[in-house]
Amino acid sequence: MYTLGIDIGSSSSKAVILEDGQRTVAEAAVQVGTGTSGPSRVLEEVFAGTGLTRADMAFTVATGYGRFSIEGADKQISEITCHAKGIHHLIPDARTIIDIGGQDAKAIQLDSRGNISKFVMNDKCAAGTGRFLDVMSRVLEIPLDKMGEAHFRATEVAPVSSTCTVFAESEVISQLSKGLPRENIVAGVHQSVASKACALAYRVGVEPAVVMCGGVAQNPGVVDAMEKELGQSIIVAPHPQLTGALGAALLAYETWKKEHQA
């Protein structure tokens, strides 16, 4: 039997199809989120070439900020629960999860059974989230997927001291106009995101293994800055943007099994 996990975030739409709660049949990500064509496009993409349709899904769980906008989902579950499920499945030793998404960042502490013991979230401010990096990538004229390479070319870190994204953007523009190397500014931008994400992690307590997920975990520059700030190594979850959708598909399987054993 097949289950579907759909994660509709503020910045991207993700979907995973699982067979028997084990094998990933298909996965897809579209880089636009709730309120856009993202949700319908990601569903089209995830089913393409599988020979399956939504009617073949025994159970569907929707998660993410836009989870209540998905028609036909059997259940909605918060992204914190879904990320925790997905990460525990992939990396059973994970005790601290840092998830940096498009508009929020979360730190989650897990016990050895994968249960959530604590979590904290920043969804009040763009600083320390993907949105901050999106703004900086545009100002620096470096595509998001090249920010990591630029980071590792930095000769020193040009700190970004403003805590507000709008002021930080002006600060970066001023650094650029002074002729500071763009790579050094990128390293400063990453350090700024890392210090905010790590502050969340300190609030739940940082216990190894520390795992990063969410779209920003695809940026090795942020991961490097976080490792330096925490003073310990971080495991980047495989396909980090998809762990919420994976967790949703796993929870869909567990829910279906419970309902059919009763």
> CA 176 to CA 165: how far, in whole Å?
16
Where along the sequence are the contacts to ligand ADP (CB under 6 A)? 9-12, 33, 64, 101-103, 130-131, 133-134, 144-145, 214-216, 218-219, 241
Q: Which two tokens stand for residue 13?
A: 């739409």
Nearer to ligand ADP, 88 or 151 (CB): 151
Nearer to ligand ADP, 91 or 256 (CB): 91
Rounded to a whole number of angstroms, the minimum distance from the CB of residue 246 to ligand ADP is: 13
Nearer to ligand ADP, 74 or 134 (CB): 134
| Three-state DSSP state, 72 | coil
Rounded to a whole number of angstroms, the minimum distance from the CB of residue 215 to ligand ADP is: 2
> CA 140 to CA 136: how far, in whole Å?
6
State the CB neighbour count (10 A cutoff) for residue 76: 15
Rounded to a whole number of angstroms, the minimum distance from the CB of residue 252 to ligand ADP is: 18
Pair 235, 211: CB distance under 8 Å: yes
Nearer to ligand ADP, 60 or 241 (CB): 241
Q: Which residues contact 171 (CB under 8 A, 6 or more apart)?
A: 160, 161, 162
Rounded to a whole number of angstroms, the minimum distance from the CB of residue 6 to ligand ADP is: 12
